[in-house]
């Protein structure tokens, strides 16, 4: 995910063409129960054990709206600066074996949230058209053939997921590069996690992204035929799928053909999109208001409570951490995305060098801080900056602290990492100069390149002699002082 | 209103997943056409400024607490299935031969 | 008609049975056996039931008797046999909607009304026949064959709850439950000479009622008298957290208002349905409605006429709204999870084969009609306009109720008609509901009260209509009509 926050840009398309992309992101809400019934909303249960008359769509069953799901939806709406408004559930009618009622209960022309926006870390604004409540479907497993839907002999259906509450967040087609698309999803995920409304795991399917992709000549404002890409299972797939699909469109347009408006599936292995089944009849979902549910009309009091429940969001956290650390917000993006911002702030607050804190969190603590407390971490950084530990030693001590939660001095002492006496290094260097006079000559009087190369040579020799225990910074100072 | 055609009936039958014989399409076209003709009487009314009624009682904000209730016994559920396998409902392939 | 199987309350009303059972004068099992005996004698000619559940009913009756013997609390309907329309879920007991598509299905749960009746001590004796998925007005559209009117076996009992109406008229059970989407309780009640109530929308839980038109459907009782109807309403009504459209503020006890009389009540005859804009209402039916108004006036009410002009558009609106909702409600019958499956080479082919074979013609007609009414390009003109007509009907009723406490009309335009008379012409069949449909569109309560007979000697029901949650005043009027009819019967004897 690192390239989403460091702002690395790749040209998505050939010169003269521009990507026009909007995203539909489905987020499974982490409520205790499903959207319309009291069945547990949990991932990984035995098939068809979390089912009841309502979520199985049995004849005679009726839905009752989960109030917690509505609250989560309104909170996300406010976090995306949407208008949070009265809403109506509707039925979207189409046949699908994973969908027990053969209609999906979803919001349609009156969604809970409309007209918001999401600002990417680099400042780009992507408009959010709507964020609405709907129910999830069950899950099919295709059996026989090569396991793909197209060749299966039969399918098996598990309805545990049927009726799980979803929020569908629909962006305007404001996205212009694959990197922006990834940044949008990463930022949305950060907001969802900050709100604690979903665990938003793409690999488990609790966050799913469909991309509407079209292209146009740069400078035009037309909207050409778009394709909806489904089956995208990770951020990197999202980027690859968009680049592939957009280039496919450019190829078609430039050879005088045109893309068909259709749903396409991303084939991760083949690295390409494939056409879904073409339908004889244009889709006609025959939406109408769900007569078994009542309209939702949040009061001023409800909305005030929702506002009061919105925590600090990633953009604010980035700004706060960047301010404290004296860097720009994108530089702390990864730390905030990983949920390590408050750890970083606590460590800096305990007196740790902000620069080293950011470096360690970004590069050495990707898998989390484990058992280590922020104050213990601050102690380690202090030892490192004070020259008591070399950077290699610091890393080793850090790994131990993450695993055990012990304090830095204890670990350092156990590992025998005593600060090396400078006089010892001076003696070592004297010997090296005597043994390598030519190299020393090149270091002291050679051009910049030569000096750099020879500094590396002498540092390496010292490290070898001390088995890596010498502090690189101290060695560099020593070398320069003898120049 | 436009007159209901055989094609309309065939289209609607496809949407509803019903297979009609040619003779049935003829019969249904005539019968449904009669009903639609009586429905066309509504066009006499000026409905432009009338709000629709979807809920006779006008209830709003009916929600339940997020509390778990017991689910059904899987064996009881699957015993009702035309075909089941491995704790799941079995169906023909999604895209088998037509 | 001496050999007709009609014998309402053959073994007493529900109130009489429950009080005798609770007093130890009759046993629940004894009462049950009396009814099962009648079913054994006449069911083959009436065909009120899709299933009679004798064994389960017997063990339940013995439980009630044991409870009474041990001095335990038993409910208001202790030992009362009840027949349930076969579109309400009964756990472990096949529930078919009189359709092949639910072949073999045993619901894993009970409808809320069934739970409430059982908790009150009632004994479910069977599941009654209906027009498939409650779509019809004659109970001829059943996959299991038609039900016959107990008063004249060559005639229809009305529908769609014809089995439940016939069961009570034949004395198979003192009470039964039906469902009413466009008149499916009131019209058969009228044709079978029993009391039938369509409660205010939301007054009785729909949980476990297999949906036809979700914004119109209501469950209600068939009984032989108004008192029983009030007791059943008090038993099955009230808020149910499993139904989002269930009212939180109900109308209170109905049994307690029955003796309040009608003195000072304002009763309005609906002009359009009593010789006005709506044609096809038989003179003998009209005569009885006018007689009912006179009887109420004699009992102290003031009677007038009132116009509900948009009610003439009720049929048009209903035949868009109900099929539209039905087309969606009946999508789930797809051969995947329960009931019939007809195989196909892929899921779509299987769905299509199952539905084509599983649904009868009337159900297919309504599914297609509703699909059309919702489809792109037609939704606003048909479904959309129909929902607006509902608003006009509600506004017209509101104006009428500013001047009147209750309204009167026929429940059915005619007495029971010959079997087969209207099966070839759907539109003619739909016209049976012309007087009942407006109350479903408005959500307001209405009931049919037996009020004498027509020229053919067959029963006629008068429809009493009331505003939302106006059941108390509606029942007071019904009780007064019943009293007047008893007086008339006594005089003519
Ligand atoms: Mg969606
Ligand atoms: Zn459930």
* Digit-coded pLDDT (tens) for A42-89: 999 999 999 999 999 999 999 999 999 999 999 999 999 999 999 999
> Is the ipTM above a cut-off of 0.85?
yes
User: Which is nearest to A229 in space by CA: A220, A219, A241?
Assistant: A241
pTM: 0.91
Domains annotated for chain A, with CATH where assigned, are: 17-308 (no CATH), 314-414 (no CATH), 422-482 (1.10.10)
- Whether the Cβ atoms of residue A145 and residue A87 lie closer than 8 Å to each other: no
Task: Place A278 in a pLDDT band, splitting at 50, 70 and 90.
Answer: low
Kind and range of the H or E element at A44? Answer: none
Question: Which residues, 6+ apart, have CB-to-CB distance to A394 below 8 Å?
Answer: A380, A383, A384
Tell me what the mean pLDDT of segment A241-264 comes to.
94
A134 Cα: distance to centroid of ligand 1 (angstroms): 7
Task: Place B97 in a pLDDT band, splitting at 50, 70 and 90.
Answer: very low
A25 Cα: distance to centroid of ligand 1 (angstroms): 9
**Contact check, Cβ <8 Å, B12/C368:** yes
Tokens of C210: 């297999």
**Exposed, middle or buried: residue C347 (CB in 10 Å: 0-12, 13-18, 19+)?**
buried
Task: Place A419 in a pLDDT band, splitting at 50, 70 and 90.
Answer: low
Q: What is the mean pLDDT of chain A?
A: 91
Ligand nearest to the CA of A56: 2
* Digit-coded pLDDT (tens) for B9-37: 999 999 999 999 999 999 999 999 999 99
- Burial string for C263-283 (b: 16+ CB within 10 Å, else e) reads eebbbbbbbbbbebebeebbe
Q: Is A310 at the interface with chain B, CB within 8 A?
A: no
Tell me what the mean pLDDT of segment A147-156 comes to.
81
On chain B, the residues whose CB falls within 8 A of the CB of C426 are 31, 34-35
d(CA C135, CA C137): 7
Domains annotated for chain B, with CATH where assigned, are: 6-43 (1.10.20)
Geometric angle at alpha carbon C227, from C223 and C228, rounded to 5°: 35
Annotated catalytic residue C85: yes
pLDDT of residue A114: 98
Low-confidence ranges of chain C (pLDDT < 70): 1-2, 493
pLDDT of residue A469: 76
pLDDT of residue A90: 98
Geometric angle at alpha carbon A108, from A102 and A111, rounded to 5°: 130
**Rg of chain B over CA atoms, in angstroms?**
23
Instruction: Tally Cβ neighbours within 10 Å of residue A463.
Output: 16
Question: Which residues, 6+ apart, have CB-to-CB distance to C473 below 8 Å?
Answer: C265, C405, C406, C466
Q: Catalytic residue among C22, C85, C127, C422, which?
A: C85
Task: Place B98 in a pLDDT band, splitting at 50, 70 and 90.
Answer: very low
d(CA A98, CA B2): 36
Annotated catalytic residue C160: yes
C322 Cα: distance to centroid of ligand 2 (angstroms): 27
Q: Is B50 at the interface with chain C, CB within 8 A?
A: yes
d(CA A231, CA A149): 12
Winning range, highest mean pLDDT, from A266-280, A401-415, C398-412: C398-412
pLDDT of residue A283: 79
Do β-strands A83-84 and A113-119 pair in parallel, antiparallel, or remain unpaired? antiparallel
Over 60: is that where the pLDDT of A9 sits?
no
Do β-strands C302-306 and C406-410 pair in parallel, antiparallel, or remain unpaired? unpaired
Residues with CB under 5 A from ligand 2 (ion): A 37, 39, 52, 54-55
Annotated catalytic residue C442: no
d(CA C481, CA C333): 43
Cross-strand pairs, A89: A107
Cross-strand pairs, A24: A170, A210
Question: Which residues, 6+ apart, have CB-to-CB distance to C490 below 8 Å?
Answer: none
A106 Cα: distance to centroid of ligand 1 (angstroms): 7
Task: Place A466 in a pLDDT band, splitting at 50, 70 and 90.
Answer: confident
Q: Is C309 at the interface with chain B, CB within 8 A?
A: no
3-class SS letters over chain C: CCCCCCCCCCCCCHHHHHHHHHCCCCCHHHHHHHHHHHHHHHHHHHCCEEEECHHHHHHHHHHHHHHHHCCCCCCCCCCCEEEEECCECECCECCCCCCHHHCCCCCCCCCHHHHHHHHCCCEEEEEECCCHHHCCCCCCCCCCCCCCECCECCECCCCCCHHHHHHHHCCCCCEEEEEECCCCCHHHHHHHCCEEEECCCCCECCCCECCCCCCCCEEEEEECCHHHHHHHHHHHECCCCCCCCCCCCCCCCCHHHHHHCCCCCEEEEEHHHCCCCCCCCCHHHHHHHHHHHHHHHHCCCEEEEECCHHHHHHHHHHHHHHHHHHHHHHHHCCCCCCCCCCCCCCHHHHHHHHHHHHCCHHHHHHHHHHHHHHCCCCCHHHHHHHHHHHHHHHHHHHHHHHHCCEEEEECCCCCCCECCCCCCCHHHHHHHHCCCHHHHHHCCCEEEEEEEECCCCCEEEEEEECCCCCHHHHHHHHHHHHHHHHHHHHHHC
Q: Which residue of C has its CA nearest to A48?
A: C337
3-state secondary structure of A124: coil
**Contact check, Cβ <8 Å, C388/B51:** yes
On chain C, the residues whose CB falls within 8 A of the CB of A62 are 206-207, 242-244
Question: Cα separations (Å) of C3 from C7, C10, C165, C417, C441?
Answer: 11, 15, 19, 19, 40
Instruction: Tally Cβ neighbours within 10 Å of residue A394.
Output: 23
d(CA C322, CA C342): 27
């Amino acid at each position: 995910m690192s390239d989403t926050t460091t702002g690395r840009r790749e040209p998505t398309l050939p010169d003269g063409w521009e990507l026009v992309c909007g995203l539909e992101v489905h987020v499974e809400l982490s409520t205790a129960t499903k959207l319309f019934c009291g069945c547990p909303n949990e991932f990984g249960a035995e098939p068809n054990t979390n089912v009841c008359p309502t979520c199985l769509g049995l004849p005679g069953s009726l839905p009752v709206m989960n109030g917690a799901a509505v609250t989560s939806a309104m909170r996300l709406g406010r976090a995306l600066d949407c208008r949070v408004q009265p809403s109506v559930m509707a039925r979207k009618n189409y046949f699908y074996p994973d969908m027990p009622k053969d209609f999906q209960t979803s919001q349609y022309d009156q969604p809970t949230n409309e007209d918001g926006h999401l600002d990417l870390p680099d400042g780009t604004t992507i408009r959010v058209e709507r964020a609405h409540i709907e129910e999830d479907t069950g899950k099919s497993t295709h059996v026989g053939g090569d396991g793909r839907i197209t060749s299966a002999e039969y399918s098996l259906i598990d309805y545990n997921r049927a009726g799980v509450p979803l929020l569908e967040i629909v962006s305007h087609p404001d996205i212009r590069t694959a990197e922006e698309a990834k940044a949008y999803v990463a930022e949305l995920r950060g907001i969802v996690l900050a709100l604690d409304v979903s665990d938003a795991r793409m690999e488990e399917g609790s966050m799913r992204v469909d991309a509407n992709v079209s292209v146009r000549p740069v400078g035009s404002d037309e909207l050409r035929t778009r394709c909806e890409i489904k089956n995208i299972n990770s951020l990197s797939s999202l980027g690859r799928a968009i680049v592939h699909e957009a280039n496919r469109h450019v190829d078609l347009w430039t050879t005088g053909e045109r893309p068909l408006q259709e749903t396409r599936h991303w084939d991760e292995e083949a690295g390409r999109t494939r056409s879904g089944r073409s339908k004889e009849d244009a889709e006609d979902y025959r939406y109408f208001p769900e007569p078994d549910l009542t309209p939702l009309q949040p009061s001023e009091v409800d909305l005030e409570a929702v506002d009061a429940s919105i925590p600090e969001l990633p953009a604010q956290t980035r700004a706060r951490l960047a301010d404290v650390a004296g860097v720009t917000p994108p530089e702390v993006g990864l730390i905030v995305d990983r949920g390590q911002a408050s750890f970083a702030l606590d460590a800096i607050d305990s007196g740790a060098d902000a620069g080293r804190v950011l470096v360690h969190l970004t590069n050495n603590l990707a898998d989390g801080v484990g058992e280590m407390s922020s104050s213990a971490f601050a102690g380690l950084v202090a030892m490192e900056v004070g020259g008591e530990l070399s950077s290699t030693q610091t890393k080793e001590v850090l790994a131990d602290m993450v695993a055990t939660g012990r304090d830095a001095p204890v670990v350092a002492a156990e590992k025998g990492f005593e600060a090396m006496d400078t006089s010892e290094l001076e003696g070592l260097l004297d010997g090296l100069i005597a043994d390598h006079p030519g190299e020393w000559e090149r270091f002291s009087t050679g051009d910049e390149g030569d000096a750099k190369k020879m500094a590396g040579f002498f540092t390496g020799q010292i490290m070898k002699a001390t088995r890596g225990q010498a502090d690189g910074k101290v060695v560099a100072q020593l070398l320069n002082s003898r120049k | 209103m436009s007159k209901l055609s055989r094609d309309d009936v065939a289209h609607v039958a496809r949407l509803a997943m019903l297979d009609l014989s040619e003779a049935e399409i003829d019969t249904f076209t005539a019968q449904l056409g009669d009903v639609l003709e009586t429905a066309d009487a509504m066009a006499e009314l000026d409905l432009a400024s009338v709000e629709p009624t979807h809920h006779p009682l006008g209830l709003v904000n009916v929600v339940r607490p997020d509390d778990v209730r017991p689910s059904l016994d899987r064996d009881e559920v699957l015993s009702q299935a035309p075909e089941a396998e491995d704790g799941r409902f079995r169906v023909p392939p999604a895209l088998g031969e037509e | 008609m001496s050999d007709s199987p009609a014998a309402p309350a053959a073994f007493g009303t529900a109130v009489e049975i429950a009080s005798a059972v609770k007093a130890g004068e009759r046993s629940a099992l004894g009462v049950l056996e009396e009814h099962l005996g009648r079913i054994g004698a006449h069911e083959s000619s009436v065909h009120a039931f899709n299933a009679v559940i004798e064994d389960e009913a017997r063990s339940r009756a013995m439980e009630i008797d044991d409870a009474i013997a041990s001095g335990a609390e038993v409910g208001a309907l202790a030992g009362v046999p009840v027949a349930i329309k076969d579109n309400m879920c009964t756990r472990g007991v096949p529930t078919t909607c009189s359709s092949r598509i639910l072949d073999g299905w045993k619901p894993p749960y009970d409808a809320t009304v069934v739970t409430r009746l059982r908790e009150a001590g009632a004994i479910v004796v069977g599941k009654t026949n209906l027009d498939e998925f409650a779509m019809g007005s004659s109970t001829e559209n059943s996959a299991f064959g038609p039900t016959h009117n107990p008063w004249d076996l060559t005639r229809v009992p009305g529908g769609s709850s014809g089995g439940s109406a016939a069961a009570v008229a034949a004395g198979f059970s003192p009470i039964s439950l039906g469902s009413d989407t466009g008149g499916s309780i009131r019209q058969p009640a009228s044709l079978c000479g029993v009391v039938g109530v369509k409660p205010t929308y939301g007054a009785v839980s729909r949980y476990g009622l297999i949906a036809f038109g979700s914004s119109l459907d209501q469950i209600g009782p068939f009984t032989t008298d108004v008192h029983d109807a009030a007791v059943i309403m008090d038993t099955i009504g009230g808020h149910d957290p499993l139904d989002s459209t269930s009212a939180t503020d109900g109308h209170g006890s109905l049994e307690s208002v029955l003796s309040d009389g009608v003195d000072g009540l304002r009763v309005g005859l609906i002009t359009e349905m009593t010789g006005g804009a709506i044609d096809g209402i038989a003179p003998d039916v009209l005569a009885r409605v006018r007689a009912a108004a006179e009887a109420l006036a004699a009992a102290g009410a003031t009677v007038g006429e009132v116009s509900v002009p948009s009610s003439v558009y009720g049929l048009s609106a209903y035949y868009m709204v109900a099929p539209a909702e039905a087309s969606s409600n009946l999508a789930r019958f797809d051969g995947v999870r329960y009931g019939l499956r007809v195989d196909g080479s892929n899921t779509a082919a299987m769905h299509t084969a199952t539905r084509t074979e599983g649904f009868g013609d009337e159900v297919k007609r309504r599914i297609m009609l509703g699909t059309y009414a919702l489809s792109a390009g037609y939704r606003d003109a048909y479904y959309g306009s129909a929902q607006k007509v509902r608003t006009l009907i509600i506004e017209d009723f509101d104006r009428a109720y500013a001047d009147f406490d209750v309204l009167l009309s026929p429940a059915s335009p005619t007495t029971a008609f010959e079997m087969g008379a209207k099966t070839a012409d759907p539109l003619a069949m739909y016209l049976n509901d012309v007087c009942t449909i407006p109350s479903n569109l408005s959500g307001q309560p209405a009931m049919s009260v037996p009020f004498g007979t027509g020229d053919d000697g067959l029963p006629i029901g008068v429809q009493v209509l009331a505003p939302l949650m106006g059941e108390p005043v509606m029942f007071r009027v019904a009780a007064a009509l019943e009293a007047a009819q008893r007086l008339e019967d006594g005089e003519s004897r």
